[in-house]
Structure 1
Amino acid sequence: MKTVFLTLLLGLVCAAQEAPAELDSSQITGDWRSILTAADNLEKIKEGGPLRAYVRRLQCTDPCSSLSINFYAKLPNQCTSLNVVAEREGDVYHVGYTGSNFFELIPVSQNTLAIYTENLDGVKSTKVTQLLAKGDSATQEDIQQYEELNRERGIPTEHIQDLTQTDDCPQ
């Protein structure tokens, strides 16, 4: 009986959750700048780490069924411009880059966007987030929402790193 009750309760909780808002390509397409990043495995996002990225532009195509991401990685200590194209599968995008990456775009405010990624490198799964802004900074409220996103995903707040302090790659 307890199992039936818990199953019913879980179903009601899931049904009460709002469906993720459908993102409009005009909200996503444009110039962006990486402000913060965090991961449950700091090795992946440390300076020179394979998942430390400095995003510059997002471009939706075919009503966001594909997403082109232009970013820089420092390989090693030299800015290398990269462009990858992610394909959408439901609400999640998939792209191959240092393994398989499954990510979702989460609007934080009019001028900020969070990306939550799960990277599978063949050995280990790593949770990574980034806070992107249309300008050079984010508001304190945006940062608080980003911190909450990390807590919800099991990424410690102390793992958040300020990318603006190390971003010396071309605009």
Structure 2
Amino acid sequence: MKAGFLTLLLGLVCAAQEAPAELDPSQVTGQWHTIYAAADNKEKIMKGGPLRCYYHQIECINDCKYPSLTFYAKDDGGCQLFTEVIKRQEGDVYVIEFTGTNVLQLIYVSDNMVVTYFENDDGEKITKITEGVGRGDSFAQEELQKYQELNSKRGIPNENIENVIETGKAPEDSRYRK
């Protein structure tokens, strides 16, 4: 549960080189679905991994100063729906103490794609993670290339990209196949 929460919180962080200086709430508000996840420590995001989750919805409260995330994550062996509201920290960065320290950013936003980045420090190792979420079931070729570029810039090998749509299933969401 908490690992999924952490991963999803990653979903609403604002700012970086590729992101607009000010987040346009209309671009991130609505239903989103995790399509890809990648990490420099792939075990953390693989099916059954502690940082694996499935986005469902993102809402902006007060111009995204308080993003609300709705997502599915494993908890006690079952998949449960969670909704969490987080507060923007210094600049456009979110810091969350949860299974270690997590620093989150939204690194790319378009009308059909959001890419999030976070670093999870579990006390032993820092893991870099990106998630590519979309409004549909897949990314266009250009979107996938952009996602791969963003991974490369952050030192995450593209061979560590996990296609979440093909490898996971969230309750009540037929987009994720077993």
Q: Using a 3 Å threshold, how does the CA distance of structure 1 residues 70 and 18 change in structure 2: closer, same or farther?
A: closer
Work out whether residues 68 and 83 of structure 1, in 8 Å CA contact, stay in contact via their aligned partners in 2. yes
**C-alpha distance in 2, partners of 1:57/1:145?**
22
Q: Using a 3 Å threshold, how does the CA distance of structure 1 residues 18 and 60 change in structure 2: closer, same or farther?
A: closer
For structure 1, the residue ranges without an aligned partner over 5 or more in a row are 1-16
Paired letter, 2:21: A
Paired letter, 1:143: L
Give the corresponding residue for 1:112.
113
**Partner secondary structure for residue 168 of structure 1:** coil
Q: How many residues are matched?
A: 155
Which deviates more from structure 2 when the two are superposed, residues 136-145 or residues 20-29?
A: 20-29
**Partner secondary structure for residue 21 of structure 2:** coil
Shift of 1:116: 0.6
Give the corresponding residue for 2:39.
39
Work out whether residues 29 and 58 of structure 2, in 8 Å CA contact, stay in contact via their aligned partners in 1. yes
Q: Using a 3 Å threshold, how does the CA distance of structure 1 residues 24 and 108 change in structure 2: closer, same or farther?
A: closer
Q: Using a 3 Å threshold, how does the CA distance of structure 1 residues 112 and 25 change in structure 2: closer, same or farther?
A: same
Paired letter, 2:165: T
**C-alpha distance in 2, partners of 1:26/1:93?**
20
TM value normalised by structure 2: 0.79
**C-alpha distance in 1, partners of 2:19/2:108?**
13
Shift of 1:142: 0.4
**Partner secondary structure for residue 23 of structure 1:** coil
Work out whether residues 40 and 155 of structure 2, in 8 Å CA contact, stay in contact via their aligned partners in 1. yes
Q: Using a 3 Å threshold, how does the CA distance of structure 1 residues 31 and 19 change in structure 2: closer, same or farther?
A: closer
Shift of 1:46: 1.5
**Partner secondary structure for residue 87 of structure 1:** coil
Q: Using a 3 Å threshold, how does the CA distance of structure 1 residues 68 and 131 change in structure 2: closer, same or farther?
A: same
TM value normalised by structure 1: 0.82
**C-alpha distance in 2, partners of 1:158/1:46?**
13
Work out whether residues 104 and 115 of structure 1, in 8 Å CA contact, stay in contact via their aligned partners in 2. yes
Q: Using a 3 Å threshold, how does the CA distance of structure 1 residues 18 and 119 change in structure 2: closer, same or farther?
A: closer
**C-alpha distance in 2, partners of 1:38/1:132?**
12
Shift of 1:156: 0.4
**Partner secondary structure for residue 88 of structure 1:** coil
1:146 paired to 2:129: no
Report % sequence identity. Answer: 48
Give the corresponding residue for 2:134.
133
Paired letter, 2:30: G
**Partner secondary structure for residue 158 of structure 1:** helix
Work out whether residues 37 and 160 of structure 1, in 8 Å CA contact, stay in contact via their aligned partners in 2. yes
**C-alpha distance in 2, partners of 1:96/1:62?**
23
Considering Cα pairs closer than 8 Å and 6+ residues apart, tell me whether 1 or 2 has the greater RCO.
Answer: 2
Work out whether residues 34 and 164 of structure 1, in 8 Å CA contact, stay in contact via their aligned partners in 2. yes
Where in structure 2 are the equivalents of 1:1-171 lying within 5 Å?
20-75=20-75, 78-89=78-89, 90-169=91-170, 170-171=172-173
Shift of 1:19: 8.1
**C-alpha distance in 2, partners of 1:83/1:75?**
14
